[in-house]
Amino acid sequence: MLTIFSLDHRHSTVAEREPFVPGEAERRRLGAVTRRVALGQAALLLTCNRIALIPWLGDGRADLPRLEALVDRVLPRTGAAFLRRARRLEGAEAITHLHRVAAGLESQVCGDSQVLGQVRAAYQEALAARTIGPELHRLFQSVLGAGKRVRHETGLGRRAASVGAVAATWLLRQGARRVLLVGAGRTIEEAGRVLVGEDRVVTIVNRRGERGAELAARLGACAAGWEERHSLLGAADAAIVATSAGEPVIMAGPLRQARTSGAGAIRIVDLGVPRNVAAEVAGVPGVELTGLEAFHDSQEGLADRNAADAIVAAAAYRCGSWLALRGARRQAVA
């Protein structure tokens, strides 16, 4: 039976989610551990507003003790707490939910253009770890197929929405002209596509300088060194920060030193999970710090959402029927 343990933006805050974000070493342990529990099948899905552990439990609730052992080993710092805090979905509800996630219907910004790639990455990572068996393989193929159909056949795909793009649009409405982008992933790329314009100076800094320079060249932005981020931020009027770092990369002390007397206001948007901007930055004079939770899309495009709902519901039903039939055949053989 499919079971999903999930923390997302609908049921938790960024502060509640960030302690559970696993590091690379913890994620690598997933493969070795799940070969011995949960019928060897599990995946870990991480998005900007979601942490989801997706195991296939052959005996349903009877396998939960083994699952608890799995989580405790994969997330040794917070495993038991994660299970207690996470929302649990099972069976048909879990199948439908994962289809909706891939289609962008459960995203903070409906139709999020990044989430399908994040679901694909979770599948590929599980494949590499050899934790995908027949059931999860069929599930992810159905989920990814439905997500592609939604992108190509409905207006949600044409919107190319993302949290990065929504945050960038918000900054433009605030009159941003000198913008610093910290990071070089998809979120920053989506933001940069909105921000780069003739009357704006957009600068990208990234810990891996060559990647930041490559993105800047592609977008028509400026590139600078990682060590310059605080001085550049002191001269900017807006910034978006979104990196994969497990700790803050923008600190209050260096920013305060970089601020000149009489400097104008800075609007800093932190889209990182865990958060990339230290909380103390909000106390620097002239700084307005805004987090991920502030950005949602409008409720327009009801027809597109209904069309996406129909695609997802049909795909989830077909997938659920296949999984149920396979389970019945296994029991008959046993």
Model pLDDT, residue 173: 92
Rounded Cα–Cα distance for residues 51 and 45 (Å): 6
Residue 248 pLDDT grade (very low, low, confident, very high; cuts 50, 70, 90): very high
21 DSSP assignment: -
The number of C-alpha atoms within 13 Å of 128 and in the hemisphere containing its C-beta is 10
Q: Residue 81: CB partners within 8 Å, gap ≥ 6?
A: 19, 20
Average pLDDT for 101-130: 89
Q: Taking 80 as the threshold, does the pLDDT of residue 267 lie above it? A: yes
User: What is the reported pTM?
Assistant: 0.80
For 131-143, how does the pLDDT look when each residue is reduced to its tens digit (9 = 90+)?
888 999 999 999 9
Residue 269 pLDDT grade (very low, low, confident, very high; cuts 50, 70, 90): very high
For 9-22, how does the pLDDT look when each residue is reduced to its tens digit (9 = 90+)?
988 988 888 888 87
Model pLDDT, residue 251: 97
Percent of the chain with pLDDT over 90: 54
Quick check: is 48 catalytic? yes
Q: Taking 60 as the threshold, does the pLDDT of residue 299 lie above it? A: no
Model pLDDT, residue 72: 74
Q: Residue 295: CB partners within 8 Å, gap ≥ 6?
A: 108, 109, 163, 166, 167, 170
For 154-173, how does the pLDDT look when each residue is reduced to its tens digit (9 = 90+)?
887 666 578 898 899 999 99
For 224-237, how does the pLDDT look when each residue is reduced to its tens digit (9 = 90+)?
999 999 999 999 99
CA-to-CA separations, 138 to 1, 14, 56, 141, 309, in angstroms, rounded = 13, 32, 12, 5, 20
CA-to-CA separations, 262 to 152, 228, 253, 265, 285, in angstroms, rounded = 50, 21, 18, 9, 10
Question: Where would I find the H helices in the chain?
Answer: 14-17, 24-34, 64-74, 79-85, 91-103, 115-128, 134-153, 155-159, 163-173, 186-195, 209-219, 229-235, 252-258, 302-333
Average pLDDT for 30-52: 76
Model pLDDT, residue 101: 96
The answer to whether 131 and 42 are in contact (CB under 8 A) is yes
Question: What does the block give as tokens for 157?
Answer: 């795909």
User: What is the DSSP annotation of 37-63?
Assistant: SGGG-EEEEEETTEEEEEEB-TTGGGG
Cα dihedral 154/160/164/169 (nearest 10): -110
- R_g of the chain computed on alpha carbons: 21
The answer to whether 260 and 240 are in contact (CB under 8 A) is no
Highest mean pLDDT among 29-38, 44-53, 151-160, 184-193: 184-193
Rounded Cα–Cα distance for residues 217 and 257 (Å): 30
Place of tokens 């599948």: 123
Local structure of 89: helix, strand or coil: strand
User: Which candidate, 242, 224, 230, 250, places its Cα nearest to that of 184?
Assistant: 242
Instruction: Spot the catalytic one: 48, 110, 222, 319.
Output: 48
